């Protein structure tokens, strides 16, 4: 093909229609027939639905007049209820006696009560909208209702107990802190103890200085050099301590 239509040929520029690929054959299960047979074995025609097995009435047995079964006679209880009737309604001109009669003139009594009685005060209300919605003032919280109680302003019992408990715990904590401060308090050196410490430091300095003076003139080895540095450091520390004690007359020592 390359010899007939080389890659650089002009015929390769002509678009070709793509050939549709053939579809694969449809899959059919080999168990299709056996499954159908098994499903049909457990079924029967009109098993759950379909026409009921009832005898169809013949056309000759059509309904006729008074062909239905007769109704049972009414029971005795119903007859008793129908016999007991209520008394008739009284006529317009009759004046039946109803309950206990009294000779009291209720019209005059009510008029006297209205004249002699005290006028009823209207309930206090408040309006909270422009349309005039009225609500009771007693339950609104605007009336000083609770200040009139006997126990108003008194501290509740549980708060008093709680305050006492807090106070007791605070006192125990303060006592504990004071004891720790006393244990960790600074101790002041007396004049005699100060002089004793100072004399001891000076004596130690003299001993170290005497040992330093006894060193050889030539320091030509490492042990001699180390010994000389150690003695110089001890003398310097002793001089610093002596200077501090001589400057300060009052000295405190922390208790361990």
The three state secondary structure string of 59-94 is CCCCCCCCCCCCCCCCCHHHHHHHHCCCCCCCCCCC
134's enclosing H/E stretch is strand 134-136
Residues of the chain with pLDDT under 70: 1-7, 44-53, 75-83, 96-99, 254-256
254 strand-pairing partners: 186
Round to whole Å and give the CA distance between 224 and 214: 12
Q: Where are the domains of the chain?
A: 187-254
Round to whole Å and give the CA distance between 137 and 121: 14
Determine the pLDDT at residue 173: 92
Burial code (b: 16+ CB inside 10 Å, e: under 16) for 87-98 equals eeeeeeeeeeee
Determine the pLDDT at residue 76: 64
């Amino acid at each position: 093909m390359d010899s007939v239509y080389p890659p650089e040929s002009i015929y390769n520029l002509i678009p070709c229609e793509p050939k549709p690929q053939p579809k694969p054959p449809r899959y059919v299960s080999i168990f299709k027939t056996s499954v159908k047979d098994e499903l049909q074995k457990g079924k029967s025609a009109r098993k759950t639905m379909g026409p009921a097995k009832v005898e169809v009435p013949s056309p000759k047995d059509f309904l006729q007049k008074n062909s239905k079964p007769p109704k049972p006679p009414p029971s005795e209880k119903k007859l008793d209820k129908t016999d007991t009737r209520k008394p008739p309604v009284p006529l317009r001109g009759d004046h039946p006696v109803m309950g206990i009669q009294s000779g009291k003139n209720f019209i005059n009594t009510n008029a006297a009560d209205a004249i002699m009685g005290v006028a009823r005060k209207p309930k206090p209300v408040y309006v909270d909208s422009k349309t005039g919605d009225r609500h009771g003032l007693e339950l609104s919280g605007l009336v000083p209702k609770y200040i009139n109680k006997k126990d108003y302003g008194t501290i509740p019992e549980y708060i008093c107990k709680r305050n006492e408990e807090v106070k007791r715990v605070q006192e125990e904590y303060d006592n504990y802190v004071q004891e720790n401060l006393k244990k960790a308090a600074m101790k002041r050196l007396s004049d005699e103890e100060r002089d004793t410490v100072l004399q001891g430091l000076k004596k130690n300095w003299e001993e170290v200085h005497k040992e330093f003076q006894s060193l050889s003139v030539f320091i030509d080895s490492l042990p001699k050099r180390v010994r000389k540095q150690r003695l110089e450091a001890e003398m310097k520390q002793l001089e610093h301590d002596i200077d501090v004690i001589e400057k300060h007359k009052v000295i405190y020592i922390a208790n361990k």
